[in-house]
Structure 1
Amino acid sequence: MEYETVQGTAVPKIGLGTWQTDGQETYGAVRTALAAGYRHIDTAQAYDNERYVGNAIHDADVDREDVFLTTKVRPDRFRPGRLKRSVANSIRRLDTSYVDLLLLHWPNPLADLRETMEAMADLVERGDVRHVGVSNFSKKRLMKAQRVSPEPIFTNQVKLHPFKPQRDLLRYCQDSNVLLTAYSPLGTGGVLDDDLLRSIGTRYDKTPAQVALRWATQHRNVVAIPKSTSEDHIEQNIDIFDFKLDRDELDRIARPDPVRNGLAFAKGSIGI
């Protein structure tokens, strides 16, 4: 496993996303991932699977302190009182005493962002949360969150894959010591039949998915959280640290493509 260190904290470069998984499917995927060496798990209140994530971590032969655990607050729970109550419920469902990272899941223009970030900072001071961040924020919104937050913004979790390389936002995160957490790094499956990724993968005896994940994780300040419930895919997704793409390959893989990104978005809806 490789790690990305920002603001003095090391985060595993590959984590397990749990969007659109529920019940025993979630439990099984997290148990499989932890057994395969994952130490970074991502969930959210909106996924309605925090209880199963927590049960899987509790039952695994892994110390809680060794797992970097993220959850996200629903946008309709951004008012300070409701936010704090919702996080207390998340911590209870996750069967833990703290979460490593708490994110605002989507922007909410109707909420007072300063009040929301102050409430999250209170949770850090109380020990319920170690780091705070945002998800699906544009560069402009991220900058505002940084201005009004008493705590450093640790990450912006956004969609990033070869057809949506997020160059401007990534450059800003790198310059600002902010982690960029890549969700849907496989383009909601869109990279799997890509001829260029297949061709490059042949050189390294890797699948197109593994090449796409290596492309993402070779960028500074980037970690990726591919979602899978397949044991084979979970194991393949973490088996990417025994090769490195060269500069020419990294450049060729990044191909902004609104059509292919749009198709991936249509497949994935907006629940990430």
Structure 2
Amino acid sequence: MEPLYTKGIALPRLGLGTFRLQGDGCRAAVEGAIGLGYRHIDTAEMYGNEAEVGDAIQASGIKRADLHVTTKVWHENLAPDAIRKAFDASLAKLKLDHVDLYLVHWPSKTMQLGAVMETLMKLKDEGRTRAIGVANFTVSLLRQAVEEIGAPIACNQVEYHVLLEQTKVLAYLRSKGIPLVAYCPLAQGKITDNEVLQKIGAKHGASAAQVALKWLLDQDNVAAIPKASRAESQQANLDALNVTLDDADRAAIAALPTNQRLVNPAAFAPDWD
């Protein structure tokens, strides 16, 4: 599957999410995924696993140019000096001289978005990150970043799966040619027992999860980063690329309820619009 080209980088459509992967298990999972062919690894300072991700990248022996690495700055660090400090710490833990994509992990109600974006753009100008972007941004926040500030946003990473529609965000991103990167693309496992998805999967010799993942990856300008610690799950997600959904399948998926937001931290989530 062709990568998504955005702001000077090639973003592999299927990546490995690492949230909640820790210690030796994280290192083994990332190294194993690279061995299977994954070329897009997603982490964040808040995950507390950048050092293990970095160890796995080194152990894999893969050329740096062949791997896309994303990390993120936590919402409590969105002042210019704090961003720089967080970025330096992330890079040191990852044992890299640059990342491919550096994201604002969550917006903050007290952030000065102009100063935040200016700091990220400077990191990009310095060659320490190849591109910058955001996560969990609403359309109004995206509009502010893209249209008012003029920041070269390479993606917006949001929760997106068959049980949560993102119509407004997708429409805005597509109008600007900005990819959506779907986290929790398998709805934290909630789709595994979904009868509609199981039925579609049975038709294609696939699992419900593979159907849900391919439904996302069939969409224009959408990438996905399912977390998977076991080699079997990582391979199953890669094999989802081989599933071919038809119009009847898509119609059945479109009829599912789509209001199940699973990641909505009350203390700092934005007002979803």
TM (norm. structure 1) is: 0.93
| 2:248 match | 248
| 1:78 match | 78
CA distance in 2, matches of 1:252, 1:168: 21
Q: Deviations over 1:114-168 (max 9, x none)?
A: 0010000000010101111111111111111113445411111000000112112
Q: Cα 1:225–1:22, aligned 2, differ >3 Å: closer, same or farther?
A: same
CA distance in 2, matches of 1:270, 1:28: 32
Unmatched segments (≥5 aa) in structure 2:
none
CA distance in 2, matches of 1:23, 1:128: 26
Q: Cα 1:270–1:51, aligned 2, differ >3 Å: closer, same or farther?
A: farther
User: What's the offset of the Cα at 1:251?
Assistant: 3.3
Q: Superposed, which structure 2 residues align to 1:1-272 within 5 Å? A: 1-254=1-254, 255-258=256-259, 261-262=260-261, 264-265=262-263
Judge conservation of contact 2:180–2:223 (CA < 8 Å) in 1. Answer: yes
CA distance in 1, matches of 2:40, 2:106: 21
Q: Cα 1:212–1:173, aligned 2, differ >3 Å: closer, same or farther?
A: same
**AA at the equivalent of 1:85:** K
**AA at the equivalent of 2:246:** D
**AA at the equivalent of 2:158:** V
Q: Cα 1:77–1:148, aligned 2, differ >3 Å: closer, same or farther?
A: farther
CA distance in 2, matches of 1:122, 1:207: 44
SS of residue in 2 equivalent to 1:34 = helix
CA distance in 1, matches of 2:191, 2:183: 14
User: What's the offset of the Cα at 1:4?
Assistant: 2.2
CA distance in 2, matches of 1:88, 1:57: 18
User: What's the offset of the Cα at 1:230?
Assistant: 1.3
CA distance in 2, matches of 1:14, 1:66: 14
Q: Which moved more, 1:249-258 or 1:164-173?
A: 249-258
Alignment length (residue pairs): 267
TM (norm. structure 2) is: 0.92
Judge conservation of contact 2:7–2:153 (CA < 8 Å) in 1. Answer: no
Once superposed, what is the RMSD of the aligned Cα atoms? 1.9
